[in-house]
Structure 1
Amino acid sequence: MIEIEVVYASVDRQVLRTCRVQEGTRVRAALVASGIADVFPELDLTTCPVGIFGRMVADPDNQVVQAADRLEIYRPLLADPKEIRRLRAAKAARARQSEQ
């Protein structure tokens, strides 16, 4: 058995679970075994994007977890970061022009 962590943050709360799984367990199976879906029933563990220590896992159905891995479940972005930066820059430019 190896110990891993599974983390997920919804809009209003965050959960970090430590659990033990068999060596050779795949990422997707480890998510199911963690019981995180009991805490967040809206999660679809079969399709949600997943990472390990901030790096996306391309094939969670086939990648094996390692001891001490932190599996991170990602939720969809509410806004495009590039668009937010563009809007913030435009607002700053308008503010500079109005000060002159």
Structure 2
Amino acid sequence: MAPMLAVEVVYALPDRSWRVAVQLPAGATVADALALADLGAQVPGLDVDPARLAVFGRSATLQTTLHDGDRVEILRPLLADPKQARRERARSAGKP
């Protein structure tokens, strides 16, 4: 019998999060985990963008091979450019 991987798929909003634990065969990919977790059925309006996926905070693709204990993260789009937000904070901190 092929070894199985225990993987978690997560998606979070500011006020709520979803976590789905799935069991996958060795060699499974992020795409396999997303399909099995089927978060789209639980999260209203969820549109998974393949460019916004991570495994433990590291950028991942649909073809990324998973390991036992991995956490697949569906990332939300950024609301502001981090560099621009930092500039704005620095500018406003210098004003009395």
| Bucket of the pairwise TM-score, normalised by the shorter protein | 0.7 to 0.9
TM-score in terms of structure 1 length: 0.81
Unaligned runs of 5+ in 2: none
- Residue aligning to 2:6: 3
Match of 1:19 among 18, 22, 45: 22
AA aligned opposite 2:75: Y
Q: TM-score, normalised on structure 2?
A: 0.83
Aligned residue for 2:73?
72
Give the number of the structure whose residues are more often helix, by fraction.
1
Q: Identity over aligned residues, as a percent?
A: 38
Equivalent pairs, count: 93
1:1-100 alignment runs, 5 A limit: 1-45=4-48, 47-57=50-60, 59-60=61-62, 62-95=63-96
Contact 1:7–1:72 (8 Å) recurs in 2: yes
Q: Which runs of 5+ in 1 are unaligned?
A: 96-100
Larger radius of gyration: 1
Cα-Cα RMSD: 1.6
Aligned residues of 1:5 and 1:16 also touching (Cα < 8 A): yes
Answer 1 or 2: which has greater strand percent.
2
Moved over 6 A (4+): none
Contact 1:49 1:74 in 2 (8 A): yes
